[in-house]
A = this chain, B = another copy of it.
Amino acid sequence: MKNLLENIEEILLMGPGPSCVPPQVYAALSRKTLGHLDPYFLDIMEELKEMLRRIMNTKNNLTIPISGTGSAGMEACFVNLVEPGDRVLIITNGVFGMRMQDVAGRLGAKVDALEFAWGTPAVPEAVEKKIRQDSYKIVAVVHAETSTGVKNPVAEIGALLKGSDTIYLVDTVTSLGGIEVMMDDWNIDALYSGTQKCLSCPPGLAPLSFSDKAMAKLNGRKTKVPNWYLDMTLIANYWGKNRVYHHTAPVNMIYGLYEALFVILEEKPDKVFRRHRESHLALVDGLKNLGLKMLVDEPYRLPMLNAVCVPDGVDELALRRRLRSEFKIEIGAGLGPLAGKIWRVGLMGHTSRKENVARFVAALQEVLRKK
């Protein structure tokens, strides 16, 4: 039998995630496995929590990686914080807002969606009107809509909720590590992310943090969390001082995330964000020279996820296939109503470098020319 792993090629990952992984993180993944209750591993867990707090800008005690991908982070936030019948407002302008509606609805929430056109950001005034009009237990929004490349005004919405009883739940899957996330300053109560975007660790973990207000809602539940695996009261007992065995932590993935955070903190977050911004601007410039247009208006663009309009007459799938096979570059397709209309070009984490932008723009030019 042939072993397929032996012929894996190095692909420049410029899709919506996973992103390219730095060599130090690959090395971390293959460090010797320790037991999940080993004293040395417990030290690693403690430092990892502290590094997550630094990147999220929070003092929250419960700040840990969930043992699943970014979507498990979404599931964990809703399943712990929603009780059946809770009114939940989900600000929606893309696939991940829609996913939140599905997740919350399955858990018995009464879901209202406040919708904005895909490719445009949420409007704080409209959110304010909605939350003054109705009373919600939870208001949820996606910081960086990976399906459209739009940045939502998370700080402004958080300011509207300050001092209220409402739980503010924010998806930072694509933003964390690429742009500023100020969990405490923005009054965020529940935040989750993923490892495979701007943190540049392979997919498999979901960093998550709960504020004291979120913990109070969780601890005040009338019913058990209807998900044993993601029950944060049990998980907190393992990641906290008690070290009570819950499930076996994904040890080597945790090494990978530890190293990924270490690399970012060594480079300094401000410098990392600047690198994201600069490579984004270089990309926009390069695309403009090729006559291509961005989907999103300039002030709302994400540096790490660039939605590029497919020009008339171009077979978008054929182009992506050629980029992958001839140039070893992956970019992403549009989703939902944007399928066939945009490409999603990721400049996330380790990928986000001008030399990668240059390589991509040159390849794109070649492929468009020979179409």
A residues contacting B by CB (< 8 A) are 1, 3-5, 7-11, 13, 15, 17-18, 20-21, 26-36, 38-40, 43-44, 47, 67-72, 74-75, 79, 99, 102-103, 105-108, 194, 196, 202-204, 224-230, 245-253, 255-256, 258-259, 262, 265-266, 324, 330, 335
Q: What B residues does A250 contact at CB under 8 A?
A: 69, 202-204, 253
In this complex, what residue of B is CB-closest to A10? B32
- B68 engages A5 (CB within 8 Å): no
CA distance A255 to B253 in the complex (A): 13
Bound-state Cα–Cα, A330 to B266, Å: 33
- Majority DSSP secondary structure for residues of A touching B: loop
What would 7 more interface pairs be, CB under 8 Å, given A8-B31, A202-B253? A11-B32, A33-B196, A67-B72, A69-B248, A69-B249, A106-B227, A194-B248
Q: Given A38-B330, A250-B69 in contact, is the A33-B18 Cβ separation under 8 Å?
A: yes
A182 to chain B, nearest CB (A): 22
In the complex, are the beta carbons of B71 and A252 less than 8 A apart?
no
User: Are B69 and A228 in contact, with the CB atoms below 8 A?
Assistant: no
Q: When the two chains form their complex, are residues A32 and B9 in contact, meaning their CB atoms are under 8 A apart? A: yes
Q: Shortest distance in angstroms between A264's beta carbon and chain B's nearest beta carbon?
A: 12
B72 near A262: Cβ-Cβ < 8 Å: no
From B28, B35, B67, B108, contact of A69 by CB (8 A): B67
Q: Smallest CB–CB gap between A330 and chain B, Å? A: 5
Q: Cβ of A28: which chain B residues have Cβ within 8 Å of it?
A: 5
Chain B residue, CB-CB nearest to A18: B33
Across the A-B interface, the 9 shortest Cβ-Cβ residue pairs: A204-B250, A71-B247, A26-B30, A202-B252, A75-B229, A203-B248, A30-B30, A103-B228, A29-B29
Complex alpha-carbon distance, A108 and B230, angstroms:
17
- CB contacts (< 8 Å) of A253 on chain B: these are 202, 204, 250, 253
